[in-house]
Chains A and B, each alone.
Chain A
Amino acid sequence: MNLLDIQTLSLSIGETPILRDVSLAIAPGEVVAVTGESGSGKSMTALAVMQLLPSAAKASGKIILDGHDLLALDEATLCTLRGDLAGMVFQEPMTALNPVQSIGAQVAETVGLHRPDLDPLSHAREVLDRVGLTTIPLSRYPHELSGGQRQRVVIAIAIACGPKLLIADEPTTALDVTTQAQILALLKQLATEDGMGLLMITHDLAVVAQMSDRIAVMRHGEVVEAGDTHTLLGAPQHPYTQALLAASTHRVDLPNQVQDMPLLQVQNVVRDYTLPRSKLFVPAGTLRAVDHVSFDIKRGERVGLVGESGCGKSTLTRAILGLEPVQGGSITLNGTPVSDPSVRRRMQVVFQDPYGSFNPRHRVARLISEPFHLLDTPPQDRNARIADALTDVGLSPDDAHKYPHQFSGGQRQRLAIARALIIRPELVIFDEAVSALDVSVRAQILDLIAKLCGQYALTYLFISHDLSVVHTITDRVLVMQSGKIVEQGETETVFNQATHTYTQTLIDAAPKLPTTGGERTLA
């Protein structure tokens, strides 16, 4: 008998249909992954199993969990099942824990609710030990822990009462790649040891391939294809699955255009932050965010910068853009320091968040022409150049009169590229520019960047935590750890024969899709 049996589940919120005829089953001890792009309804499926849907949601069909017909149960009964029969792990460990309660109390609360026979605190200790937090006292508060540690606490809460089903909704999306590998290993280990069913929601096909026994691919609230992981990824039947798989392993061709002439020179750069004083009358400490970093970018060269969160890559980016002072070293573009205003017009940036990077109250024409402010005299052919910029990034000149909220995330990222290129900068900085995008949109934007490389001989610095993207879109790569560049070299060389152990760790930790047919692996 199946542990979880979802039969023709349909769901709507108000008039909007969210799920249509979703059927899914999980046997005890089985790992089932639900994957798809944003808006596919995969998270709603998970919330439906927990019956934690928004109050306006209406569901039909059947969800049978361990013999309980969940849609037919009243709220009081559901409360006794949640946390006991099924536990859930969420995406955002930074906000999933109550900030004003100690982690011990939060784990113990679950125990107290469902296992009155156990001593809550000593059981909480055992569970936290099990998820690898042996050295962390129960009295710690969430803000004192790292993201990975917090996610372990969330997992501890979910498994504290030994549930038969564990649901994990994008459990590693907010985490760094090495932390992701540890959390995934922990989830798999817990599922195996306890014989739990594991329902894993993720957008990342590589994670799916590594974790799951079976997968279901969702789009627009429907399951388009489901089956054994190995078979399905090896020979996808549905065109959407094929497209998704192709986009996940998407490679672009970059024209070779590197000239042997340094454009950006970063020499011995140091950036210190003053920390708040930990004790009264003790001098304030400093945090060295960037530690004697040196590298060059040649004209026409595409350089990647990879590293995990907190490694200093954002600080370095801002220093290059002249937005942050540095305490040592020099950053020059064509020999002129970047602090000089005349350099500003020769450098532009594309940010990560397609929603936050535009003033919502301005029209596209005004938004993408903002860099004209840097020119001494505004160009005569302003409107023509706006139209050109929009055409270059695959949008229509008519879009100039629209507001940013009328565009999708991918289109907004095209607008951001148009804004960066409108004054023909010599250097473009892509700061996690494709990280917030769905995999198919990401593939399109990468293609666009490759096309523009051919058109304008772009020189850029591409900052990303995603190794597979950096692998395809750059000529050379820098690896950053704790403020230092630990390795740099030709992208292919670094990815195939990393010399620094940290680089090797990063590459090994990144989940990989299985090699299929003639396609190459990611790393």
Chain B
Amino acid sequence: MSRSLILGGLLSALMVIAALVSFVWTPFDHTALNIPEKLQAPNSTHWFGTDHFGRDMFSMIMVGARTSIAVACVAVGIGVGLGVPLGLWAAARQGSWLDEVIMRGNDLIFAFPSLVIAILITAVFGAGAINAIIAIGIFNIPVFARVTRGAALPLWTREFILAARVAGKRGARISVEHILPNIANLLIVQATIQFSLGILAEAALSYVGLGAQPPTPSWGRMLADAQTLVSIAPHMALVPGFAIILTVMGLNVLGDGLRDALDPKLRVSRA
């Protein structure tokens, strides 16, 4: 096990544990207002301090992790669930009109960055966590479709795929049986990257008010609350900021570690 795998795994696990534990225990009720104790710097009672309503920031960070994980998870799920089959399909029919349509459709979605999609959805349906998930998820589809197709195409010219075709297997079956297992590594790595991007995107959408709405806690909105108070209570911005940075870094380092850990096996088999 490499150092990056351990470090990334630990940071990512820390966030997941915080989110899970928050279902049964948080130091304080994260919604309880306590005006007399507002804007406290981190201390022995409130480990991460309190916000402008006197809420315990540590509890809010724990519960906020739930929102981040949920949004990023579902968004990656949408991307994998739709993008991978589309990419496999396009690769199996390389050069056909179907391939062309799928890939041009991907390019089109890339022209709408997730924030623009979110703005459109919000303009029509109003803001909310579900809309944030859709906005981030739609943008994940072409990412996975491209990665899948890009990795599948060179495999299609390999002789073991030809051998499978000589054995009478059809495109769909070859895609699932031979292509998918050989690109799974790549997809896992890409999923960790998209997961971290999802957390960043959720934070950005919540920050501008297009994401999770009160009272659902979210790291992005904690930062929005902090903006006007940053000069008198810097911890209000620092705490959620570090939560986001450490989580995203953890996932990225984990992705790098996975890439290194999973890739050489493929190379050994070629050596």
Indicate whether A and B are direct neighbours in the complex (CB within 8 Å).
yes
A residues near B (Cβ < 8 Å) are 321, 323, 341, 344-345, 347-349, 351-353, 355-361, 370-371, 373-374, 403-405, 416, 419
Would you call A358 and B168 a contact (CB within 8 A)? no
Question: B163 interface residue, CB < 8 Å from A?
Answer: yes
Which A residues are in CB contact (< 8 Å) with B168? 341, 344-345, 373-374
Would you call A370 and B266 a contact (CB within 8 A)? no
- Bound CA span A178–B228, Å: 79
Interface size class of B (residues with CB under 8 A): 10 to 19
Would you call B159 and A353 a contact (CB within 8 A)? yes
Partner of A351, one of B162, B178, B269, B270: B162
Would you call A355 and B270 a contact (CB within 8 A)? yes
Which A residues are in CB contact (< 8 Å) with B159? 351-353, 356-357
**Residue among A323, A351, A352, A416 with max Cβ neighbours from chain B (10 Å):** A351
Partner of B163, one of A355, A361, A419: A419
Closest-CB distance, B70 to chain A (whole angstroms): 33
Which B residues are in CB contact (< 8 Å) with A360? 182, 266, 269-270
Would you call A405 and B268 a contact (CB within 8 A)? yes
Which B residues are in CB contact (< 8 Å) with A349? 162-163, 166
- Bound CA span A351–B163, Å: 8
B residues near A (Cβ < 8 Å) are 158-160, 162-169, 178, 181-182, 266, 268-271
**Residue among A355, A370, A371, A373 with max Cβ neighbours from chain B (10 Å):** A370
Which B residues are in CB contact (< 8 Å) with A357? 158-160, 162-163
7 further interface pairs, Cβ-Cβ under 8 Å (given A323-B165, A360-B182): A347-B166, A356-B160, A359-B164, A360-B266, A361-B182, A370-B167, A373-B167
- Bound CA span A404–B182, Å: 14
Which A residues are in CB contact (< 8 Å) with B268? 405
Which A residues are in CB contact (< 8 Å) with B271? 405
Which A residues are in CB contact (< 8 Å) with B158? 356-357
Would you call A359 and B167 a contact (CB within 8 A)? no
Which A residues are in CB contact (< 8 Å) with B167? 344, 370-371, 373-374
Which A residues are in CB contact (< 8 Å) with B160? 356-359
- Bound CA span A356–B271, Å: 11
**Residue among B160, B162, B178, B270 with max Cβ neighbours from chain A (10 Å):** B160
Closest-CB distance, A264 to chain B (whole angstroms): 15
- Bound CA span A352–B164, Å: 15
- Bound CA span A510–B130, Å: 70
- Bound CA span A257–B166, Å: 27
Residue of A at shortest CB range from B173? A373
- Bound CA span A405–B268, Å: 7
- Bound CA span A360–B262, Å: 13
- Bound CA span A341–B170, Å: 12
Residue of B at shortest CB range from A429? B166
Closest 6 CB pairs of A and B: A405-B269, A360-B269, A357-B159, A351-B159, A356-B159, A374-B168
Would you call B163 and A370 a contact (CB within 8 A)? yes
- Bound CA span A347–B271, Å: 30
Partner of B181, one of A347, A361, A419: A361
- Bound CA span A345–B167, Å: 7
**Residue among B163, B182, B269, B271 with max Cβ neighbours from chain A (10 Å):** B163
- Bound CA span A315–B266, Å: 29
Which A residues are in CB contact (< 8 Å) with B166? 321, 323, 344, 347-349, 371
Would you call A359 and B162 a contact (CB within 8 A)? no
- Bound CA span A370–B165, Å: 10
Which B residues are in CB contact (< 8 Å) with A403? 269
- Bound CA span A364–B217, Å: 53
**Residue among A359, A370, A404, A416 with max Cβ neighbours from chain B (10 Å):** A359
Residue of B at shortest CB range from A345? B168
Closest-CB distance, A232 to chain B (whole angstroms): 33
- Bound CA span A409–B147, Å: 31
Which B residues are in CB contact (< 8 Å) with A358? 160, 163
Which A residues are in CB contact (< 8 Å) with B182? 359-361
